Structure 1
Amino acid sequence: MKIVAFIKQFKFYLWVGLAYLFLMMLGMLSEGTDNFAVRLVNQSWQAIYIVGINYLFFEHILPQLSRKRLGRSFLLLAGQIFLSSFGLYMWRQVGIQLHVHTPLPNPPDVGDHFGSALGSFFFFGIIRNFYNYTILRQTAQQLRIEKQAAELNYLKSQTNPHFLFNTLNNIYSLARDKSDLAPESILRLSKILRFMLYETSGRYIAIEEELKIIDDYIALEKLRYDDSLRVSFHHNIEDRKQALPPLLLMPLVENAFKHGVSETRNQPFVDIHLSVNQRQLTFYVKNSTESFPGEKAVRENIGLSNLRRQLELLYTDFSLTVQPDTGVFTVTLNINLASHV
């Protein structure tokens, strides 16, 4: 891990050093100095040292400066000043001895070297702060995405067992009544479970797949009731291959049966309409109910509250409205599918 961090730091200071050398080169060109090639080699030799002392200062000395340890901080700063002045001067002398640095008329003195090093500290410091800020923002963004993905997976893990629990309750009712429809209901449940296991692991499915699972669920629910139950499911979809998060619409269908039809004594019904045109989805579910306005506040069960939170994580443009009325309960969901996060 430390080696990876060091490699990243090395690359960063190398690129900043090259940028620093490029600015020095532009300065020489603007001055129109003679012996440009020789001066460029000299500046390259100096840039190697400049990169080294900036790395030492920002990565090792600066983090150790503290008001609580003034003596040590003073010694560290004094050492840095020495390296930035006499050290850079000696580096130039080493280059001359190695025939890498060519002496030119009017050579810079120790003070000039310190001024050059001080300017590099500002240059490296500004770029380093901007770089760290960018990395921090990217890290925060990545953490936010990972947190939302984890929360979304958790909500799905709650919704699927909730869906299965309700379906098993339906089959239990048929089995308790020793209905001949129990085997068929188990077969339909098997089909639904296969869909949940193999089709809902991805982020999206085609809308036509969502239609199939809704049809299967409605057929499974209708096995519990006699001909008095009226169910209608209409859809008008521009492109049945459009992507949709799996089982996103199912909680509203479940609610219509579990909290509406199952509690209705006379003429139970469920009306469902789905339309998707120009990336605008409208899902309308209306069902009978025995509750009346003013009796009690609308209760958001697990399925509905989870759906609302999933919508907040998945889309920026949506609305979910619940409208209770005398003997009727209506839910309308509108989603701009193009506003997916």
Structure 2
Amino acid sequence: MSISIDLNRLKFYIWVGVAYFLLWLIIDTANSSASFLPIFINSVWLAIYLTLLNFTFFEYVLPWLRKKRRYLLVTIILSIVTVWMLLMFCTVGLFAWRGIGLLLRLYTALQSFSSMEKGMTYFAPHGIFSVFFFGLVRHAYNYSKLKQASQQLLIEKQQAELNYLKSQTNPHFLFNTLNNIYSLARDKSDLAPESILRLSKLLRFMLYETSGDYIAIEQELRIINDYIALEKLRYDESLRINYNYDVEDMKQAVPPLILVPLVENAFKHGVSETRGMPFVDIHLSVKQRQLSFIVKNSTEATTAENGIKENIGLSNLRRQLELQYKEYHLSVKHQDSMFIATLNINLGSHV
């Protein structure tokens, strides 16, 4: 049976071994009157053994011991044997490794022992402490890697959800626009060709400008303006539209189509259902990275019992904001025969 070695894990144990070597070097230097060089070489020699011992134990022996077996008694016996063998390697093995170093003249005998038992007793704390040291560092490292993997998985999941929401928003937006053109074509309106031309501009924007995470706010304003112009083709002079903005930096980044759903909602679920004098008031303000977007539109009066039922556009917008910004507020309300949507975003709080 071949045993594969994970080089990344081996590098990790080497670095832990270096840390353990430095720690023990400080302890030995403080407790010994010998010169620094032999203490340094001795510590390196012992650190090599303990690094290999702990690497083998934690990466191969322990996973093998954790394997599920048919009988619990077998696992208990194997555990006892493994602990006993680990103690032997931490005492007898470490003392024997010292002896090999002496034979190879790589280790300097700074202490003399009258018996093998006394030598093993001297080195036992060294070996046993290394198991706890490597084990704690390994546990912290594995926990950190697991936490990073969980965070990465969460980020990927949220990105997938955000992409899905965007994929829903774009067709939803285009279907509504096509419905507008269909109405003009059905009425054989002379404005149908112009509406198709404007739709082509919207499609071009969808295909080439919205694939990234952010666009300049001037592009978002341009698409809103094109959408309003397309909507105006459906209505006569009775429709009043007030569209203004106060933006200190047109190059500030915002997610593509983050403002459009509120404008679209004003026309589709407000103006189109108004029997009286329809209107849409749109105001955007961006100052010191604080975005304020207010859309007011005419609507039929509703009772308090009916409440406000959000459509797919508003629901998707709310979720997109949740995924992309830490500080935002989106509110919608009816006030007499007027629907008001207010969006506030701290553009500096993007995730």
Same fold by TM (over 0.5)? yes
8 Å Cα contact 1:292-1:325 kept in structure 2: no
Deviates more, 1:70-79 or 1:156-165: 70-79
Q: What is the Cα deviation at residue 295 of structure 1?
A: 6.0
8 Å Cα contact 1:64-1:73 kept in structure 2: no
The answer to whether 1:286 aligns with 2:296 is yes
Aligned to 1:42: 42
Aligned length: 339
The answer to whether 1:331 aligns with 2:341 is yes
Aligned to 2:69: none
The answer to whether 1:191 aligns with 2:201 is yes
Aligned residue identity for 1:59: E
Deviates more, 1:207-216 or 1:79-88: 79-88
Aligned to 1:219: 229
Q: Secondary structure at the match of 1:270?
A: strand
Aligned to 1:302: 312
8 Å Cα contact 2:29-2:39 kept in structure 1: no
CA distance in 1: counterparts of 2:149 and 2:17, whole angstroms: 25
CA offsets per residue over residues 224-278 of structure 1, 9 Å max, x none? 1111111110100111111100000000000000001111122111000000011
Change beyond 3 A, Cα 1:73–1:31 = closer
The within-5 A match list for 1:89-128 is 89-107=95-113, 109-128=119-138
Aligned to 1:144: 154
CA offsets per residue over residues 115-142 of structure 1, 9 Å max, x none? 2100111111221122122212212211
Q: What is the Cα deviation at residue 105 of structure 1?
A: 3.6
8 Å Cα contact 1:84-1:118 kept in structure 2: yes
Q: Secondary structure at the match of 2:93?
A: helix
Q: What is the Cα deviation at residue 294 of structure 1?
A: 3.1
CA offsets per residue over residues 93-114 of structure 1, 9 Å max, x none? 2222222122334256112222
2:93 to 87, 105, 128: 87
TM-score relative to the length of structure 1:
0.95
Change beyond 3 A, Cα 1:297–1:257 = same
8 Å Cα contact 1:203-1:246 kept in structure 2: yes
Runs of 5+ in structure 2 lacking a partner?
A: 67-71
Deviates more, 1:134-143 or 1:179-188: 134-143
Aligned residue identity for 1:277: K
Aligned residue identity for 1:63: P
Aligned to 1:25: 25
The answer to whether 1:175 aligns with 2:185 is yes
Q: What is the Cα deviation at residue 32 of structure 1?
A: 5.1
Change beyond 3 A, Cα 1:5–1:232 = farther
8 Å Cα contact 2:87-2:128 kept in structure 1: no
The within-5 A match list for 1:309-320 is 309-320=319-330
Aligned residue identity for 1:296: N
Q: What is the Cα deviation at residue 84 of structure 1?
A: 1.5
Change beyond 3 A, Cα 1:269–1:93 = same
Change beyond 3 A, Cα 1:159–1:120 = same
CA RMSD of aligned residues (A): 1.7
